[in-house]
């Protein structure tokens, strides 16, 4: 009998501890949002064109109608250097000038792996070259871009590669921390006046792979994803998961921000092949609101939403709800 009572007592004590921990978790996960979180968007000319939009009109609408003042842009290697040693700066320069006009701040991505599928954007003329040659050419392109754009008044941060150590997504060579370190060192040498950032998957990585190399670490934040084996997967993660993970990784030095907050559909079929009704199954005005509130509860100082080109496409097709919702966000 005594042994039974001891066992029951131990079970009760453990249950009480878990109950207390659960309550603490709920309280922490529902802490008031930060007084000041700066919101921005990622913009890609190629995504606007993929959706059949006038990319300059879309970009100007993001600045002038939405009122966005923080942008994450990418200097895509395949657009900047369409033939060996021949650089085309027109589109990048136009984006930077427009940002300057609007007094917007820009994170500018450089490197081989940057946002949007297939993740690695290698010029056609370099795609079949051996990896060691591609790396040398990547460094050469980074050098040219940094020297060209470093004096833009809009430039705030250099992003070197996008999720460069994530091998489970994208059509890219395996990630290599040593090469990433080489790229970052080159950017620092060419432009010591701007901080350097790289990014990690918020859900699929530990965030520590490159945190000690950079001044800023950007993370993605996705509430759901589509997987070829399991279909649509919902991540059972709380704001506290991201917040405490950031607190732990911050020991390594970097400022941590959200560079890719999900606000665009992710389905089995490509976005342009979906009806609006199909798109809204995985992203819609209510999900956008919930994701923004989730990010507020995480409490990181900057949040860049993903999908602004799609919001404009919706607006052009008579569904302006998300556009209008986010306009209120950026006007605050």
CATH code for the domain of 158: 3.20.20.80
How far apart CA 152 and CA 106 sit, in angstroms, is 9
Overall average pLDDT of the 40-54 stretch: 98
Check whether residue 107 and residue 14 sit in a common domain: no
Check whether residue 312 and residue 190 sit in a common domain: yes
State the residue for tokens 């070259």.
129
User: Structural domain tally of the chain?
Assistant: 2
pLDDT digits (tens, 9 = 90+) for 137-181: 999 999 999 999 999 999 999 999 999 999 999 999 999 999 999
Check whether residue 107 and residue 215 sit in a common domain: yes
CA nearest neighbour of 236 among 19, 25, 33: 25
Check whether residue 111 and residue 192 sit in a common domain: yes
How far apart CA 239 and CA 59 sit, in angstroms, is 31
Check whether residue 176 and residue 263 sit in a common domain: yes
Whole-number pLDDT of residue 21: 40
Percent above pLDDT 90 for the chain:
87
Check whether residue 21 and residue 49 sit in a common domain: no
Check whether residue 138 and residue 273 sit in a common domain: yes
Antiparallel, parallel or unpaired: β 224-227 and 231-234: antiparallel
How far apart CA 64 and CA 58 sit, in angstroms, is 10
pLDDT digits (tens, 9 = 90+) for 188-230: 999 999 999 999 999 999 999 999 999 999 999 999 999 888 8
DSSP string over 105-167: EEEEEESSB-SSTTSB---GGGTTS-HHHHHHHHHHHHHHHHHHHTT-TTEEEEEESSSTT-T
Whole-number pLDDT of residue 26: 45
Check whether residue 186 and residue 303 sit in a common domain: yes
Check whether residue 89 and residue 17 sit in a common domain: no
Whole-number pLDDT of residue 22: 45
CA nearest neighbour of 187 among 158, 226, 219, 229: 158
- Domain membership of residue 64 as a residue range: 38-331
Check whether residue 185 and residue 255 sit in a common domain: yes
pLDDT digits (tens, 9 = 90+) for 223-246: 999 988 889 999 999 999 999 999
Check whether residue 225 and residue 137 sit in a common domain: yes
Check whether residue 269 and residue 324 sit in a common domain: yes
Structure tokens at 262: 């999900």
């Amino acid at each position: 009998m005594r042994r039974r009572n001891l066992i029951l007592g131990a079970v009760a004590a453990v249950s009480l501890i878990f109950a207390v921990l659960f309550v603490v978790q709920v309280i922490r996960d529902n802490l008031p949002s930060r007084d000041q979180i700066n919101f921005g968007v990622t913009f890609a000319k190629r995504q606007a064109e993929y959706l059949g939009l006038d990319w300059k009109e879309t970009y100007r609408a993001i600045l002038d109608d939405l009122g966005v003042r923080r942008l994450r842009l990418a200097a895509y290697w395949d657009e900047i250097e369409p033939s060996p040693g021949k650089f085309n700066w027109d589109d990048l320069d136009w984006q930077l000038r427009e940002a300057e006009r609007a007094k917007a701040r820009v994170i500018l991505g450089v490197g081989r792996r940057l946002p949007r599928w297939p993740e690695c954007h290698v010029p056609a003329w370099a795609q079949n070259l051996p990896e060691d040659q591609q790396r040398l050419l990547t460094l050469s392109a980074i050098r040219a871009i940094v020297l060209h754009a470093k004096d833009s008044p809009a430039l705030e941060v250099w992003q070197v590669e996008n999720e460069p150590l994530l091998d489970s997504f994208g059509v890219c060579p395996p990630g290599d921390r040593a090469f990433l370190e080489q790229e970052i060192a080159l950017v620092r040498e060419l432009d010591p006046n701007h901080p350097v950032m790289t990014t990690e998957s918020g859900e699929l990585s530990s965030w520590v792979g490159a945190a000690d190399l950079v001044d800023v670490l950007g993370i993605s934040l996705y509430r759901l994803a589509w997987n070829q084996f399991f279909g649509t997967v919902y991540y059972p993660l709380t704001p506290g998961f991201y917040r405490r993970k950031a607190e732990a990784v911050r020991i390594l030095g970097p400022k941590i921000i959200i560079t890719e907050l999900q606000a665009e559909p992710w389905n089995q079929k490509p976005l342009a092949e979906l009806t609006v009704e199909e798109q809204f199954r995985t992203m819609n005005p209510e999900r956008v609101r919930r994701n923004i509130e989730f990010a507020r509860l995480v409490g990181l100082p900057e949040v860049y939403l993903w999908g602004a080109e799609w919001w404009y496409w919706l607006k052009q097709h008579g569904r302006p709800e998300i556009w209008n919702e986010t306009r209120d966000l950026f006007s605050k």
